Structure 1
Amino acid sequence: METINHVYFIGVVAVALIIDLALGEPPRVIHPTHWAGVIASWIDARIPRGSPLVERLAGAATALLLPTLFSSLTAIILSLVKLFLGNVAWMLASAYVLKLSFSIRDMERHAKPVIFKVAEGDIIGARIHVSRIVGRDVSGLDAPLILSATVESTSESIVDGFCAPVFFFALAGVPGAMFYRVVNTLDSTVGYKDDVHLNVGWASARLDDALNFIPARLSPPFIALASKLSGADWRNCLRVALRDHHETESPNSGWPMAAMAGALGVRLEKRGKHVLGAEYNFPRLEDALLSVKIMRLSCILFYFALTPLSLLLGFTAQGYLESLSLTLISLLR
């Protein structure tokens, strides 16, 4: 029976990746992280301002309880699916929820239109598209800086859009991946350093940094391997990652971004913030397109590299959480 269950868990791994590469993201209305963001915004609007301590405590409670709620609901729903519908339905449901925690195709879908608009000479259109994947002011960006922003966002997404949720899936199954994704959503919703969110979003931002710490540092070797397979410079990828990772304000995003800068031999710059690969020229169109290819390949390599760990730890953790869910449900009946 244990062998059969492991086969189903391997099915979860395979089907989730197939769903992402073939179909991409579902409509927002049925995406749990969309609703996590809606709930986070609702809570944020109701947290009383004026006391930094109260703001931090409320923000910390939200940062811990909301991800726990979503991961617990994930375990409960999947345990009920297995109980009433069987292993195949459980495998498909688990794969679908796992896919919701990461995305490769969606990043491609956002990055390539920017590159194509630059290729057409449509800078206004390129700014519109790049504004959807970066948080900076894009109104004054020229073509080189637009391509730089695109490569930066593409490389950063390797960690927070893929490697981190997959890492926590390997440790704690699908509920672990969902926990990470909701934390990351909270960081995107309230983890800002403006006057309104400086204290409220502090815990979400710090927790997101902590959860990304290991995945970010695991990413350069996979970017290097993907670079070698794609014809880019894998040695320079590692060299620049080690040299320039600390240049970014974030303690984590510099690792994949500097690795990509080295692999492509390009300069990545956010004016007034950071420069990675300072000795190189800005990305060309072909560099930006290659970054998308490297992103996709490095994610797939990471995914399958962590499959043994997911079978060892993630499978066991998810089974335990689902059993615990059924026990709690039986006690409440």
Structure 2
Amino acid sequence: MVDRAEVEAAVAAVAGRRASVRIEGSRVGVVIDATGLSAPERDALEANARAAASVRGAEVRVVVTAERLDRRLIAVASGKGGVGKSTVAANLAIALARAGRRVGLVDADIYGPSQPRLMMAEGERPTARDQRLDPVPTPYGVPMLSMGQLVEPGRAIAWRGPMTAGALGQLVDADWGATDTLVVDLPPGTGDVQLTMIQKHRPAGAVIVSTPQDLALIDATRAIDLFAKAGVPIIGVIENMAGYACPHCGEISDPFGRGGAEAEAARLGVPFLGRVPLSIDIRTASDAGKPPAADPDDRVFAPIAERVAEWLAAS
């Protein structure tokens, strides 16, 4: 005869998580909560629970369940390429993680993935379990997935719309474990990936990246319009490449102008999140896979992430 109290105590000792035990003769059924655990952690939990419940030759069945987490998606978008959107997305993800959120990063720029280099994850290949991808860890505490990790380096991805939509689904619907926030680096423009993201994965809000120049602002306005028409809130606008400090004399110049994104945000009635300077240090650090937001002394991305975190807490 299997003693229920003995089994429950044994399972609780090794699992430390919610579990229920059902005993019918020599059969023991254990249902245990694995919310927030990664796939390897769930496997270990199941094995430990099975070993703990296997008393007196009982036949044991362990079922591991998980509640759906309230995971929020933040879409980082731009109306055109070349405005530093991916650099901003990587640093925003790291800065949010440093602020205490459990953050994952999705590189949804299917045709031009750059996050593996930015996050020092080049050459890392994700594994899969039960037809779901396991995100790749990074040195910055932000797991990530990118098409750049699924294809050979330098290989062109020449896909039509339905294939990009399927790829996006694999990245977003991966096993993100305890992650509560997904930063999604979208491709430039307002095409198939953006529409699929809005229709199937529904971001909590969108962050728009633009340079101060008029041409970039025209396209950024289109990106804002796309999300606004779809009912996706605009978290705010970030002005990138805003001001250049000469490393020799310290004089500030504005090759792309200054204040244009802030003025456009005010005109459209959306928040302005802050400026990122045009800096050789940011460029070289990013190329080396060392995002500036990982530096404890970061004063550029941390305030922007704080405003995004405040928006998430209030929405």
TM-score (structure 1 length as normaliser)? 0.24
Structure with higher helix content: 1
Does 1 or 2 have the higher relative contact order (CA < 8 Å, sep 6+)?
Answer: 1
Bigger Cα Rg: 2
TM-score (structure 2 length as normaliser)? 0.25
Structure with higher strand content: 2
